[in-house]
Amino acid sequence: MTKKVLNASGMKKANQKKILDMLRVESVSRAELSRKTGLTRAGISGIIEELMAKGVVVEGETMPNRVGRSSVELKLNGERYLIAGISISRDYCTVGISNFCCEVLEYQEVLFDKDQDNPHTVFRRITEIIREMMAGREAALLGIGIISPGALDIANGRILSPPNFEKWHNLNICSFFRSQFECPVVLENDAKAMAISEKYCGAAGTVKNYVEIVVDYGIGGGIVVDGQLYKGSSGSSSEFGHITVDMNGGLCSCGNRGCAELYANIPNIIAYARKYDSTVTSWEEIVDRAEAGDADMGRVIERETECLAAVIVSAVNIIDPEVVFIGGDISYKSRILISGIQKRVDERIMRKAIHGIEIRPSGLTKHKRLIPCFHLLLSYVIDHSILFEEAQAKLHL
């Protein structure tokens, strides 16, 4: 008898998650939810009634359906809860709050010196900023999503040993903010969080199997299989920057040789461009000059396409995704870069006789490093069936 109750409970939670996942992407009617999930109208209605009673889902406008009759749209109640987000980079953090729909309400950048400032001083400043942003708002804080460059101990909420970030090594960042706000606090690698956010507010759309490669200070990424983020046995999957592109290349900080990151991250792209012109200061400058006809900067982009194509070919041959998204700062005016990568990948992948692979720019543009924090926390709350009522009992701050 107990087993049947547990199975029924598990099925209910799975169906609730399926419905909430769909509503995170778009507003839909009960009939459309039934069609897309395969659940009966009665089953859908029962779950929706419960979610509406909790204030998580609300009815919206009347919309025509496919047979000409009108129906009422269902959508997430953006006003029900607030989510805080902290996006960590090596010389600043972006701090913000969103509504329950992960729409940015307010944000602020916190500058710091990674070699001089005490991280706990930065944490305390972030705490003050979140409290200031929450002040006067009626909705409760659902939780905090934090993204950071790796390496991370996700299970225990610790920043381990990102390169060139020594003062931040071995910090239990989740424990600190959990003690300040008494709410769920979740940590994830920044590139992986961006990958799964592509599903909810980026360019993934109906694509269920894809890879996201994020290029900026480093090269990271995420693998999404059947709509779920693949993490591997220890949470350290999809380190695309450490795929070897030169067997006889230089020694990387990871211990490997010839890693893509040694050639294709933005600092190393700029260093390569300075062989042609010592005044080059940014990737944006390289792209703008190449588009204006600068042949030397065109060669710099050509080299970048070769490095990233080598990484993508390896990823495609192993993972077999439908699409590869290119994100991060490298996606600035990405037409030339994407077309060059696409050409090289088409020439080299094994499966081209069956079907090709599409290379696309990421759909994450505005607040591309902050919105993934909100989706990270919301996914955690939904995936772990944390009761939404729990947040209501927390401080309104």
- Spell 105-138 as b/e; 16+ CB within 10 A means b: eebeebebebeeeebeebbebbbebbeebbeebe
Is residue 193 left, alpha or beta, with left meaning phi > 0 and alpha meaning psi from -120 to 50? alpha
257 shares a domain with 120: no
pLDDT, tens only, 106-165: 999 999 998 899 999 999 999 999 999 999 999 999 999 999 998 899 999 999 988 778
Q: What is the band of 397 on the pLDDT scale with cuts at 50, 70, 90?
A: very low
**Domain C-terminal end among 50, 76, 102:** 76
> What is the rounded average pLDDT of the residues 65-82?
81
Query: Regarding predicted confidence, which is higher, 5 or 181?
Result: 181
Q: What is the DSSP string of 207-265?
A: --SEEEEEESSSEEEEEEETTEEE--SSS----GGGSBS-TT-PBPTTS-BSBTHHHHS
Q: What is the DSSP string of 180-217?
A: HH-S-EEEEEHHHHHHHHHHHHSS-TT--SEEEEEESS
Does residue 394 surpass a pLDDT of 50? no
The dihedral through the CA atoms of 169, 172, 174, 178 has a sign that is negative
**Domain C-terminal end among 76, 98, 118:** 76
Does residue 2 surpass a pLDDT of 60? no
Torsions phi, psi for 116 (to 5 deg) = -115, -40
* Pairing, β 219-225 against β 57-64: unpaired
In a domain, 320, yes or no: yes
CATH of residue 51's domain is 1.10.10.10
Q: Which of 64, 53, 52, 62 is nearest to 23 (CA)?
A: 52
CB atoms within 10 A of CB 242: 19
68 shares a domain with 86: no
> What is the rounded average pLDDT of the residues 11-22?
90
How does the average pLDDT of the chain come out, rounded?
91
Domain residue limits at 238: 205-361
Q: What is the band of 245 on the pLDDT scale with cuts at 50, 70, 90?
A: very high
* Pairing, β 140-148 against β 81-88: parallel
Does residue 378 surpass a pLDDT of 50? yes
> What is the rounded average pLDDT of the residues 312-322?
94
279 shares a domain with 181: no
User: Is residue 252 within 8 Å of residue 266, measured between CB atoms?
Assistant: no
What was the pLDDT predicted at 390?
52
In a domain, 32, yes or no: yes
In a domain, 396, yes or no: no
In a domain, 45, yes or no: yes
Does residue 169 surpass a pLDDT of 80? yes
User: Is residue 61 within 8 Å of residue 120, measured between CB atoms?
Assistant: no
What was the pLDDT predicted at 392?
47
In a domain, 188, yes or no: yes
60 shares a domain with 32: yes
In a domain, 393, yes or no: no
- What angle do helix axes 2-25 and 30-37 make, rounded to 10 degrees? 120
Q: What is the band of 69 on the pLDDT scale with cuts at 50, 70, 90?
A: low
Give, in order, the Cα–Cα distances in Å from 59 to each of 43, 67, 141, 294, 368. Answer: 17, 20, 23, 55, 29
> What is the rounded average pLDDT of the residues 375-383?
95
174 shares a domain with 104: yes
pLDDT, tens only, 127-136: 999 999 999 9
What was the pLDDT predicted at 201?
95
227 shares a domain with 180: no
336 shares a domain with 305: yes
In a domain, 3, yes or no: no
CATH of residue 100's domain is 3.30.420.40
374 shares a domain with 356: no
Share of the chain above pLDDT 90, in %: 78
pLDDT, tens only, 257-270: 999 999 999 999 99
90 shares a domain with 216: no
Q: Which residue's entry shows tokens 């169906």?
A: 15
Beta-bridge partners for 88: 93
What was the pLDDT predicted at 71?
81
Is residue 196 left, alpha or beta, with left meaning phi > 0 and alpha meaning psi from -120 to 50? alpha
pLDDT, tens only, 209-233: 999 999 999 999 999 999 999 988 8
Structure tokens that stand for 54 in this block: 């909790």
153 shares a domain with 124: yes
Q: How many domains does the chain have?
A: 3
Q: What is the band of 65 on the pLDDT scale with cuts at 50, 70, 90?
A: low
220 shares a domain with 334: yes
311 shares a domain with 225: yes
